[in-house]
Amino acid sequence: MARAMFEYTKTVLEKVSFSVELFTRELHKALNRLLPYEIDELRFWLINFTKEKPELVVCLTIIN
C-alpha cells in the first residue's frame, strides 16, 4: 500500500507540474502522507524532475 501511495504522489505531481502553486500544494500533501524513507525517495525524484522544469526549482526548498 505504501509503495502505491508513493507512485500515486509522483503521478499527481507530474500532472500538476504546469502550475507552481498547484505543485507546491500537492507537494505539501505528499509530505504529510508519505513515510520518511519515501520522502527521501521523493526528494531525489524531485531533483531530477525539476531539471526539466526549472520553474519548479523553488519547490526544492519545501522538501529540504
Q: Where are the domains of the chain?
A: 2-63
3-state SS track over the chain: CHHHHHHHHHHHHHHCCCCHHHHHHHHHHHHHHCCHHHHHHHHHHHHHHHHHCHHHHHHHHHHC
Q: How confident is the model over 15-32, as a mean pLDDT?
A: 96
In tens, the pLDDT along 6-19 reads: 999 999 999 999 99
Which pTM value belongs to this model?
Answer: 0.90
Dihedral sign for Cα atoms in the order 51, 55, 59, 60: positive
